[in-house]
Each structure stands twice: as C-alpha cells, then as structure tokens.
A and B are shown apart, each in its own frame.
Chain A
Amino acid sequence: MNVLELSHVYKGFARTEGEEVTQALDDINFSVHDGEFLSIVGPSGCGKSTIMRLIAGLIFPTAGTITLNGEIIKGTDTERGMVFQKPTLFPWLTVEKNLNFTARMQGRRHDAEYKAEAERLLELAGLSEFRNDYPHQLSGGMAQRLALIRTMINHPKVFLLDEPLGALDAFTRMNMQDEILSLWQRSNHIVLMVTHDIDEAIYLGTRIIVMAPRPGRIREDLKNDLPYPRVRTSDEFLGLRKKVLELLNFGQSKNTKEAQKQLERSNKP
C-alpha cells in the first residue's frame, strides 16, 4: 500500500525584484493512499501546481515534509510521474521515441518488458499508426494522450496530472476524462489531478480538495462516494457541484446576498 503524505508544507517564492517573498502555500496537510483519486480545485494563484511540482520533486518545500511511504522526497523519480498542462513532448523525437524516452533515460531501451508495454500503450492510445510522426503533426488530444502514456509506461506509484486537459476542447476533454478514469481503475495507484473545472473534479475524484488563494491553503477536503461511472446530470452530482461552488464563493448564496445588497442600496432614497 503506497501512502503519500504532506505535513505542514509551506512554500515561499522570492519575487523577481526586491526582497519580498510570496507565500504560495500555507500549512498544507493531507495524505493519500493507493486507490484514491484526488482532485484539487481552486482559483488561479492558489498554489495547485506548486503542490504538484513539490510532490514531483521539481521544487522543494520551505518548511514541512512530503513523504512517499515514509521516505522524504529528495528529487524527481520515475515512481512519481507527472503530466503537464502543455504536452511537453520533445519536438525533435518521433511519437515512438518520445514514448521510449524514459526507458532510454534509465538505460533500459532494449528491455523487452518496456518494448511490449510501449506497444500496448500505443495501441491503447490509438497512436500506433502515427508512431513515426513528429509531435507537431499530432492533434491536441493525440499529443496529450501521448504525454499520458509516456508517463504511464513507468507505472508510477503516484500519478500527477497538472491540468492535463486544460488546453483541450470540450469533447476531447470529456473523452480523455473517461480514458484517465479507466487507466486509474486498472492500475489503482494514487492519482492527483489539478483542475479548474469543477465538473471534471467531481466526475473523476474520490476526494476533492478545494483550495483558497493567497496564500494557498486547503479550504475543504471533500469525500466523493458517487459510484462510477458518474452521471454529470444526477442530483447527487449537482449537489456536490453546488457545494464546491459555494466553497469557492461562486455559490447561489453569495449571488443572492450581492443582489439583495444592491437592491437595498438602490432602494435607499
């Protein structure tokens, strides 16, 4: 059983100019274990991506600890795979070579296991016939699928998705959500997905962390027990959606209050 734990994580960034430091994350605590799909939602500037980059080991916390199975994260490792908002495919490599990049980096290019897995994933992502194409020849959805399987080939214990569907159109997006879901259900590892799409967060996550900005902190850690496949129009779904919206201050209540205030103001003589 893999357990990822963040305890009392703070992160500050030095401003480009001046001595000031921006507090990006303030006392982040949560733990995730195998079989959980954690959606993280929040407005921009709430440090969602920072959490991802910390777990990936690309940056380090100012204070606090991040551990995977009790071990402190000291840098990047293939046991923690990350998919970025941009596909970040290497434009000078073909589809197949992009997929084999990680095997090459680990000196396992001729590994039969990797080869078979690459073949299986290419087939799964519908990219078999494009194996010799270059990234600029792929559509947005295809590119992001390749980015997904490029990370997945390592079977990471923790799968970090940093708004991977943010740049896709609505239809491709919904298809990809189902694909991500089925991939996760098959592997049953830890998935953390950052999104600013509330619908997506509820559709996918077993847990939804709602964040507040400046400094980034956790506002609520919601459980989502709805059975898969989830129906976007069911009452439970919509109820959860309403709750998240309210936590993000976009709820009905806020709007009504504002409207009432305005009404009162205009009624004053």
Chain B
Amino acid sequence: MRKESTGIDVLSHLTRERLAELESRPKTPVRIFLDYSICFMPVVFGLAALAEYLFVPNLKGNTSTSTYTYFLAVLISVSAIYFVLSFFSKKVFYVLRYKAPFYAFIFVLLMLYDYLTLKTGKLVLPYFTWTDEILNAIWDDRAYLLDCTVNSLKLLFTGYLSGAVLGLITGVLCGCFKSVDYWISPFMKLVGAIPSPTWIPIVMVIASTLFSGAVFIIALGVWYSLTIATMTGIRNIDRSYYDAAKTLGANPLRLVLNIAVPFAVPNILQGLTQGMSSACLVLITAEMVGVESGLGWYVSWQKSWAQYGKMYAAIVVLCIVFIAVNWGLNALKRRLLRWQEGITE
C-alpha cells in the first residue's frame, strides 16, 4: 500500500503552539524578521539606557556608582538570554513576542527617569533620587529592610488569614441559614459602611499591643469582604444542584460542604482578592500611624528624616512584595477554577 497522507504525520503529536502555527497563515520572511526584531527590542533599549547612564555627564554635584550599571547589565543579559532561547522554543518566542514591547518601554522609562534626575536635575533633590541611589539604599540597608519586610508579612498574613477563615465561616453560615443571617446581616451593613482604616485610631488605643490591634483591623476588612462574597456566591446557587445532591444521598451538612461551598468558590476567590487589597491598604496605614516596625513604618520614618533614597527603597520593596502576594493569589485562582468554562480548554 502506498504511504499516502502526509497529513497524518503532520497531525501527530499536536501541541497548542503547533496548532496555532498550522492554522495561521504562513509568515513571510519579512514578517519573521520583524517578529524577531521586536523580540530583540528590550536588549537594544537596555543598551541605550546603559549608554545614557555611562556617557551622558552627571549634573554638577550629583554622584553615581556602578551599582546601576550592574543592575542594567543583569536586566539586559536576561533579555538577551530570552532572545536566544526564543529561537529554540516556540513557547518562549510567543511570550517574548507579546511582552517585548513593554519590556523595552520599561528600559525607556528607566532611561528617562535617570536623565531627569541624575543627569539634568529637572526633578529636584531631595524629593526625587536617581535609581542608582535607590539601589544603593536597598543594598546598604538590606538587613533592616528584610527585617521590616518579614514584620510586614507577619502582620499582613496573621490578619489576612484569620479574617479570611472567619469570613468564610460567617459567609457560609449566613448563606445557608436564614436564622444566622437574621442576626449577622445588620452588623454587616454597619461595618460595611465604614472603611476599615477608620478604626485605626480607636483600636490602636484600646488594643493590648499595637500588633494585635493592627491584626484586628486587617482581619475586619478581610472578614467583611469574604463574608459578603461567600454569601452572594451561596445565594446564587442553582437549586437543582441541591435537588440532585439530595436524591444522591447528601445530608444537610454535606449539602453545605460539598455543594454550597464549591459552588461559591469563584466568589470566594474574588472576595479573597478584594480582601487582600483592603488588607494591604490597612497594613500600610497602620504601620505609618502606629505599629513601629514594617515597611510602612520604614517609609514614614525615613521620610521624617528626609532620607528620600531610603524611602523609595522601601517603596520598591513594598511593590515587589505586593506583586508577589497577588501573583500567589492568582496562581491559587487558576488552580481552583480549572473546572470553569473558558479557563481550561
């Protein structure tokens, strides 16, 4: 028999990338060249930023070190490595092709900021410090910053987790039992009307320690958003799921744990995200007002000494911490919502 149909060879071992490639129009050489040029853009703009830093003379009196040079060099190397990898892996190529313009833009921003501060002083000292200073501040004060970060995270997660657990329980009880809802709902409406930072001055005075006071306020905000989200999720359940579960032998407790809660998971996750943003807000406010440790405290402390470089350093660390926390939350979301239409394919 003649071996026909190259189609079968082509169609074996299909991957998502391969599918996209097969179904899209063939790319012209010009197009391919353009794609890879775009992937190379971060390296080009990175080098430009580096050149700007090294060759444009500083404003008189401004000093700079080689820390920023190393920093840029590392970023450029990473861009270059990804560019090389994109020739070998389609997956890397697609991601890089998508992200490269933005990465290039970040280098432009870095370059612009450096020019406006270190090189020309258009943005004046002491309020604006050049990146090199900030990096040095982070490095010099790393031990203390790390300590502050750990303290902040401790406070954040103690408050967040206790609030989340309590909110989940309250939400489930209120969603499932009218009699619980009767007693809790009025208080929910009261608490919900007041932004949680409002409580800071009072609680800081009443609470036995500042830490426990801050935990309480963070937990309060998280508890509120999680209770509301869980309740809404459970209320929206399609009754036919309860009916089906009952005929399959589920008792009332099982209906709550195995039907109501899983059904409300998308809402619960939304509540968790919302709760996290409120928790971060309260954390920083509490640290700036009362708690004498943590990144928020560090920021206001350095500001009061006019140490703007160190202040920015702490803000940068804060950004990184919050980005990491949200990333973790999103990973959890993806994991738990695999069953939803449109998320898995």
Binding site for B on A (CB under 8 A): 53, 56-58, 76-78, 80-82, 84, 86, 88, 90-94, 101-102, 104-106, 134-137, 150-151, 154
Q: How far is the CA of A81 from the CA of B243 in the complex (A)?
A: 11
Segment among B2-10, B163-171, B258-266 that sits at the interface with chain A: B258-266
Whether B247 pairs with A76 at a CB distance below 8 angstroms is: yes
Against A, the Cβ 8 Å flags (1 = close, 0 = not) of B314-344 are: 0000000000000000000000001111001
Say whether, besides A76-B246, A134-B344, A90 and B251 are in contact (CB < 8 Å).
no
Q: Please report which residues of chain B, range 229-268, place their CB below 8 angstroms from some CB of chain A when the two chains form the complex.
A: 240-241, 243-251, 254, 258-259, 262-263, 265
Q: How far is the CA of A150 from the CA of B245 in the complex (A)?
A: 11
Q: How far is the CA of A231 from the CA of B341 in the complex (A)?
A: 41
Query: Which among B254, B262, B338, B339 has the greatest number of chain A C-beta atoms within 10 A?
Result: B339
Q: How far is the CA of A56 from the CA of B249 in the complex (A)?
A: 11
Q: How far is the CA of A175 from the CA of B324 in the complex (A)?
A: 53
Q: How far is the CA of A77 from the CA of B339 in the complex (A)?
A: 28
Cross-chain contact of B247 among A58, A86, A135 (Cβ < 8 A): A58
Q: How far is the CA of A77 from the CA of B246 in the complex (A)?
A: 8
Residues of A within 8 A of B247 (CB): 56-58, 76, 78, 80-82, 151
Whether A88 pairs with B251 at a CB distance below 8 angstroms is: no
Cross-chain contact of B243 among A58, A105, A106 (Cβ < 8 A): A58
Q: Please report which residues of chain B, range 256-286, place their CB below 8 angstroms from some CB of chain A when the two chains form the complex.
A: 258-259, 262-263, 265
Q: How far is the CA of A105 from the CA of B248 in the complex (A)?
A: 7
Whether B265 pairs with A105 at a CB distance below 8 angstroms is: no
Smallest CB–CB gap between B39 and chain A, Å?
34
Residues of A within 8 A of B251 (CB): 105
Other A-B pairs beyond A57-B247, A105-B248, 18, CB < 8 Å: A76-B246, A76-B247, A78-B247, A78-B248, A90-B244, A90-B259, A91-B341, A92-B339, A93-B262, A94-B339, A102-B248, A104-B258, A105-B249, A105-B250, A105-B254, A134-B344, A150-B248, A151-B247
Cross-chain contact of B245 among A92, A101, A135 (Cβ < 8 A): A101
Residues of A within 8 A of B244 (CB): 82, 84, 88, 90
Smallest CB–CB gap between B340 and chain A, Å?
8
Whether B341 pairs with A90 at a CB distance below 8 angstroms is: no
Binding site for A on B (CB under 8 A): 240-241, 243-251, 254, 258-259, 262-263, 265, 338-341, 344
Q: How far is the CA of A91 from the CA of B248 in the complex (A)?
A: 16
Whether A106 pairs with B241 at a CB distance below 8 angstroms is: no
Residues of A within 8 A of B246 (CB): 57-58, 76
Q: How far is the CA of A53 from the CA of B242 in the complex (A)?
A: 13
Q: Which residue of B lies closest to A156 (CB)?
A: B247
Q: How far is the CA of A81 from the CA of B245 in the complex (A)?
A: 11
Residues of B within 8 A of A93 (CB): 262, 339
Whether A105 pairs with B258 at a CB distance below 8 angstroms is: yes
Could you show 15 A-B contacts with beta carbons less than 8 Å apart? Answer: A58-B247, A77-B249, A78-B247, A81-B247, A82-B247, A88-B240, A90-B244, A90-B262, A92-B262, A101-B248, A101-B258, A104-B258, A105-B249, A151-B247, A154-B248
Query: Which among B247, B265, B340 has the greatest number of chain A C-beta atoms within 10 A?
Result: B247
Q: Which residue of B lies closest to A86 (CB)?
A: B240
Smallest CB–CB gap between A194 and chain B, Å?
15
Q: Which residue of A lies closest to B259 (CB)?
A: A90
Closest 5 A-B residue pairs measured CB to CB? A88-B244, A102-B248, A76-B246, A136-B341, A105-B249
Q: Which residue of A lies closest to B246 (CB)?
A: A76
Q: How far is the CA of A260 from the CA of B219 in the complex (A)?
A: 79
Smallest CB–CB gap between A136 and chain B, Å?
4
Smallest CB–CB gap between B76 and chain A, Å?
43
Smallest CB–CB gap between B41 and chain A, Å?
39
Whether A91 pairs with B240 at a CB distance below 8 angstroms is: no
Q: Which residue of A lies closest to B336 (CB)?
A: A92
Q: Which residue of B lies closest to A88 (CB)?
A: B244
Q: Which residue of A lies closest to B345 (CB)?
A: A137
Residues of B within 8 A of A57 (CB): 246-247
Smallest CB–CB gap between A31 and chain B, Å?
21
Query: Which among A56, A80, A90, A151 has the greatest number of chain B C-beta atoms within 10 A?
Result: A90
Residues of A within 8 A of B249 (CB): 76-78, 102, 105-106, 154
Q: How far is the CA of A135 from the CA of B250 in the complex (A)?
A: 20
Q: How far is the CA of A78 from the CA of B250 in the complex (A)?
A: 9
Whether A88 pairs with B243 at a CB distance below 8 angstroms is: yes
Smallest CB–CB gap between A166 and chain B, Å?
14
Residues of B within 8 A of A80 (CB): 247
Q: Which residue of A lies closest to B243 (CB)?
A: A58
Residues of A within 8 A of B241 (CB): 88, 90
Q: How far is the CA of A117 from the CA of B241 in the complex (A)?
A: 23
Smallest CB–CB gap between B60 and chain A, Å?
66
